[in-house]
Structure 1
Amino acid sequence: MSAAAVLAALEARGQTVAAAESLTGGLVVAELTAVAGASRSVRGSVTAYATDVKRDVLGVDGELLRARGAVDAEVARSMAEGVRRLLAADWGIATTGVAGPDAQDGKAVGTVFVAAVGPRGSGDVRELSLNGDRAGIRRESVRAVLALLLRELTENAGAKDTEHDGGN
């Protein structure tokens, strides 16, 4: 799975992406923008490392954050929806999780949620249980969210998101 493949799929569809990143701290958008021509498809990103940034900038529901913590499937989906809306992209992708060294919100190190949300709210969220050190967990989270987006763009292209709506 490569960022180049994701960008090619986006470009073929005339669509754009924006990223909301927590544990990956900008690594997802760095991977995408390392590819020449990324500016045709990448709208931007928000590094929402702090919980209040998830709430105040991306629009994640404060009650959801209080009840479940930041490492949660619905939080990941909401982050993806929020960045999609905020940056007027067709697709929003998000990462939230625990890279270590300590557990967070009752979640073990290596617990990660990745999300990809497209036009009209279609998309998916995946829970990962990753092993390794902090750097390895972060790298694998990048790979996983890009793979999820590529799957949504290619395998589910016929069933979903058949019209370009500019993220509106």
Structure 2
Amino acid sequence: MHTARRIRLPPLARARYDAMSRLLHWLTLGLLVVQFLLGWLMPETDDVKVPSGVIAWHIGIGTSLLVMGVAWCGRAVTRQAPEPADQSSGVRAIASVVHIALYALLLLVPLLGWLNASGRAWPVKIAGTLRLPQIATPHSPGASIGEWHSASAWILLTLIGLHVFAVLIHQLVLKDHLLERML
């Protein structure tokens, strides 16, 4: 009687994500760290007529994150993913749900920010040069959607925390070298 055994590959033989996916991952993380810091440092925006300083930086990085979110989603659909990690089907399903939610929020959070900024008649530009169209007017619901933008950002931050926690479990407890796939 022959029983099939699962073969675990040595860490260096495991497939890594391609260079472009790794670059997008770490660049997105860097922008998110700066963006959350700016969001926490940002003054109250209710009476702001023209964004400047921290608010202008928050909008600029937000547009960069929107571009990164579109690039990430496109990359996730078109790239050849490395072989799946040696995990149970339940853990793999949870990881898939979290990743899909992260991709969705990488689009939703900056879109809600753009909608809110447009509703305030603030200019929204990519890299400070390419002006995006206004997608709301001052008396539209877009002008009051700031709470949705903030709430979705907190959900994104929570999922990022869950993602980091899972990576730490893999690295420190399971010692399966999963982190090396993204380094």
TM-score, normalised to structure 2, is 0.28
TM-score, normalised to structure 1, is 0.30
Larger radius of gyration: 2
